[in-house]
Chains A and B, each alone.
Chain A
Amino acid sequence: MTFIPLLADIVPDAPKQSPAALAMFLAFVAATLMITWWSARKSSGASAYFAAGRRITGWQNGLAVAGDYMSAASFLGIAGMIATSGYDGFMYSVGFLVAYLTVLLVVAEPLRNLGKYTMADVLAYRLKERPVRAMASLSTLLVSIFYMIAQMVGAGVLVKELLPGIGFNTAVIGVGALMIVYVVFGGMLATTWVQIIKAILLMSGSLFLSVLVMKEFGFSFAKFFESISNISVNKDGVESTVNFLTPGMKFTDPLDQISLGLALVLGTAGLPHILIRFYTVPDAKTARVSVIWAMIIIGLFYIMTTFFGFGAAALLDGDLVRSNPNMSAPLLAKVLAGDLFFAFISAVAFATILAVVAGLTISASTSFAHDFFTNVIHHGKEHRPGEEVKVARITAFVVGAASIAIAILLGPKTNVAYLVGLAFAVAASANLPVILMSVFWKRFTTAGAVWGLGVGLVASILFILIGPNVMGENAIFPLQNPGIASIPLGLLAAWLGSLASPHEHGSEAKFAEMKVRAHTGHGAEQAEPH
């Protein structure tokens, strides 16, 4: 298997390695590979491979949604952002949870009732299959790949720091190879369990870390807040006291905040790798229950960022934190509970990365196989039984290999954080408007969907390219987050595209049928029998 030679090259050149950290990494890898082996034996057929047989329970899917969503960027990244920028970092925590109300109230249930494996299924219900699937698949692939590159580069940097002795390239190849193994052999069932285990590990690690922080303050919230309101900061040799709860340490333009807020609140409900999770449960009711579970877990996690984020600001040396913000959570663990806990938090971070990249890979490969290969190229018919799954496995391998290559080409120095913002912006500007219109608007047409997806996609990418993330000081578009401009453009294009095209007979005739199915679950895809 691919990862065995890797282990061989990890062990000898790792003299400074903490054996505990390595042991925990390996335990996690071994456990997830066992799950993959078990899933591979268990599952056969398309619904098993793409949707885990639709037999995942509500709480399991809730954990898996949380596991798919809480990336290393949110664990290590937000902890680091709060540790350096205080309150402004915490604003991300808020948006990440509130976003799930859109998923719960508007998207999850109709999606489960109308679709089979992908987001595009919902669009194809009333509209002409081939053009909308081709566009939706393109959007899915782009969102997944942007997000994945950000995760892979982040993973390489992190593993290098968490396990000294392992180089950037080795780390990227290792993470990539593992995610390929999970997805190619274990499909959605293995991916789901990797995410569940990761969510449990992440929650227990964060809880323990939070308790340790509060122990330092004698479990007194008054003392804790007192301390984080008066943190002494040494800037250019001048000692001063800063209140880390005061907004404005990082964000200076409130408009940029609104723009980010829009992308988070509307984008989460358009992220393909989150949406396809709702096909793994038996029905819309269970999909709803799973969003509730996800919201409990995600909410508790982001509330805990208060303790380990601000806690790191109060308890760790400021220069140390600023020199490498992403390491503040693991460093806090080391300072408060020693090497063993540092190793555990490192293993948690590693699990976090793997679960997210596996989720992204399966979402990209499912969309390519189901939307593009079967429906666009082969007009909805499999030429040979099992072909769709086979194509998905090959795609997963190609997507995995390509993202390894891109991450290595970019190297550890590239700033890729804005790619996550780009993924959210595309999801909010291209995907969500057309999903909503196809469910709620009778007059919606194929041309509207194609225009909406196209304009949303192009506008998001363009505003990032001409914005401060890429052009720095000379930016033409003033905001870091394109949402406030690209979302209205996507909506407008979908709306005008529909009105400018003639009434679409099929779309309007199927509206009543879709309405009944979306709201009652009649005729929805069933779970596989035991």
Chain B
Amino acid sequence: MSDKDNEAIDDAEIDRQAEVWEKIIHRPEFEALLAAKKRFIVPACLFFLVYYFALIVIVGWFPDLAKKQIGPANIAYWFALSQFFMAWIVAWVYTRAAARFDRLADDLLGEHANPDTDKK
């Protein structure tokens, strides 16, 4: 079976709507929102992935370092425990940044109260 219903929607109509949305994504406010999000989210993801896999790498391939005792426990345990705090701190920093994204988005929607006329 094919997607006749979906394709039946007029291509011209899709293009007309796409043009309206294209205009919105090229507004400076929207570009600023996306840029701000990207600036935060991409480095944040890289940071947590590197931090997490560093634990596995150290534990797996550098056992002598991992076994080194610091205070009551070894580096392996402290590093593992630090992952919890790392996750909470990244989450906390993100909520603060996201509050800023929310304001940018609200400004954009406020100026542009109803960008679409179609409703699903």
A residues contacting B by CB (< 8 A) are: 87, 90-91, 93-95, 97-98, 100-102, 104-106, 128-131, 221-222, 224-226, 229, 243, 245-248, 251, 254-255, 257-258, 261, 265, 285, 288-289, 291-292, 295-296, 299, 302-303, 306, 379-380, 505-506, 509-510, 512-513, 515-516, 519-523
Contact = CB atoms under 8 A, between A and B. Distances in A.
Contacts of B80: 87, 90-91, 93-94
Contact of B91 (A226, A229, A292, A379): A292
B62 to A, nearest CB: 10
B35 to A, nearest CB: 11
A507 B58 CA distance: 43
A379 B101 CA distance: 37
B88 to A, nearest CB: 6
Nearest to A222: B72
A251 B76 CA distance: 14
A379 B5 contact: yes
A505 B11 contact: yes
Contact of A299 (B15, B53, B87): B87
Contact of B33 (A105, A257, A261, A519): A519
Interface in B51-107: 52-53, 55-57, 59-61, 63, 66-67, 72-74, 76-77, 80-81, 83-84, 86-88, 90-92, 94-95, 98, 101-102, 105
Contacts of B92: 292
B119 to A, nearest CB: 8
A106 B42 CA distance: 9
B84 A299 contact: yes
A520 B95 contact: no
Contacts of A285: 98, 102
A142 B30 CA distance: 39
A524 B55 CA distance: 39
Contacts of A246: 67, 74, 76
Interface-centre pick from B15, B60, B67 (highest chain A CB count, 10 A): B60
A105 B45 contact: yes
A380 B11 CA distance: 20
Contacts of B30: 516, 519-520
Contact of B59 (A95, A105, A247, A302): A247
Contact of A225 (B14, B72, B108, B116): B72
Nearest to A116: B120
Contact of A101 (B11, B63, B90): B90
Q: Looking at B22, B56, B60, B76, which has the most chain A CB atoms within 10 Å of its CB?
A: B56
11 contacts: A98-B86, A130-B3, A246-B76, A261-B56, A289-B95, A292-B91, A295-B88, A516-B24, A519-B30, A519-B33, A519-B34
A383 B105 CA distance: 38
A174 B30 CA distance: 53
A513 B18 contact: yes
A265 B77 contact: no
B37 A101 contact: no
B14 A509 contact: yes
B113 to A, nearest CB: 10
Contacts of A523: 116, 119-120
Contacts of A265: 49, 52
Contacts of A243: 74
Contact of A506 (B6, B59, B67): B6
A286 to B, nearest CB: 12
B56 to A, nearest CB: 5
A505 B14 contact: yes
Interface string B31-54: 001100100010011001100110
A292 B79 CA distance: 22
A224 B73 CA distance: 10
A147 B21 CA distance: 41
B17 A513 contact: yes
A222 B115 CA distance: 62
Given A87-B77, A105-B45, A520 B109 contact: yes
